[in-house]
Amino acid sequence: MPKYLGKCPPLREADLYTGCPFNCVYCIAKQRHSAEIRPAGREQELIMSPVSDIPLYLSPWTDPYPPCEEKQFRTGSLVRHLSRTGQPFYVITRSLLVRRDIDVIRNSDRAFVAISLNTLDEDITELLEPNAPGAGERADMIEELAGIAGLRTVVRVDPILPGITDGDKLLELLQWVLRIKPFAIGVETLRIDTFIASRLRNVLPEESFYRMMEYYSPPGDIPIHPALEWRLDLFRRIASLFEKTDVRACFCRATVPEQITPWDCRGGY
């Protein structure tokens, strides 16, 4: 189900596992994760479903490549089926295990692989994404994938944390993206509710936490983005950096009052 009904481009979504191994502090899905990471059993359902031209998004609430995927092979089985049948699909992950399936994804002319990386600062990724591969490991993999002909590699700068991963740190990341020239860059800002805010408060230095919260209205039960004016200015500045390049800059159309670029948030089908 699309995040914003009636506003997102048509897509299908599937989580092949429950839970997530990376334990990102800002995770929007943390409260719905199970304690045990195990197969959700959806890959056979999808393999047996009729062939579709609606893109399949792997995965909206979990990572499609947890460590157990090496043995379970649920994601591997499904992407092979999708590639073989010519169906469009989009994989988003923080896991280095995606390398195993790159030749399969590359063989499909309707597939995208997106790697989440919101900073090159190892200290920040260690603090906020404690069980995920480090910033350097993911950056090395992205650079490797961006160099593979025919592979649509997307860098997911998601989420940007106001006052923490914006400013000079964001500019450093964007300049690196411009240098390696992936297919696209997808950008989004952190959404918070009271639960996420409490988790961030527990790990961030007090000064950093309160600096970040200055960009938000008081959080409640529904996750909210930072101030719209700040987001629009940020998105426009990012878009201008990529305007005259071959790298697509992509933003969520559903949460801003104007279209920033021609591309949707997942790279542009």
pLDDT in tens, 102-145: 999 999 989 999 999 999 999 999 999 999 999 999 999 999 99
pLDDT score of 92: 96
pLDDT score of 32: 74
Question: pTM for the full model?
Answer: 0.94
Residue 193 lies in a domain: no
State pLDDT tens for residues 60-92: 899 999 999 999 999 999 999 999 999 999 999
Q: Calculate the alpha carbon distances from 220 to 128, 162, 190, 197 in Å.
A: 21, 18, 15, 10
State pLDDT tens for residues 187-244: 999 999 999 999 999 999 999 999 999 999 999 999 999 999 999 999 999 999 999 9
Helices marked H in the chain? 42-48, 69-72, 74-85, 102-107, 122-128, 135-146, 167-180, 194-203, 206-213, 228-242
Does residue 268 carry a pLDDT above 90? no
What CATH number has the domain bearing residue 179? 3.20.20.70
Residue 7 lies in a domain: no
Residue 176 lies in a domain: yes
Residue 197 lies in a domain: no
Residue 199 lies in a domain: no
CA dist 104 and 80 (Å) reads: 6
pLDDT band, very low/low/confident/very high, at 5 (cuts 50, 70, 90): low
pLDDT score of 1: 46
- Give the closest residue to 186 by CA, choosing from 140, 226, 153, 229: 153
Residue 33 lies in a domain: yes
9 token code pair: 């481009």
Residue 233 lies in a domain: yes
CA dist 244 and 184 (Å) reads: 13
Does residue 59 carry a pLDDT above 70? yes
Angle at alpha carbon of residue 125, lines to 40 and 3, rounded to 5°? 45
CA dist 120 and 133 (Å) reads: 12
Given a contact cutoff of 8 angstroms between Cβ atoms, the answer to whether 168 and 123 are in contact is: no
Residue 243 lies in a domain: yes
Domain that holds residue 53: 12-186+227-255
pLDDT score of 120: 98
Q: How many domains does the chain have?
A: 1
Does residue 36 carry a pLDDT above 50? yes
pLDDT band, very low/low/confident/very high, at 40 (cuts 50, 70, 90): confident
pLDDT score of 264: 78
pLDDT band, very low/low/confident/very high, at 35 (cuts 50, 70, 90): low
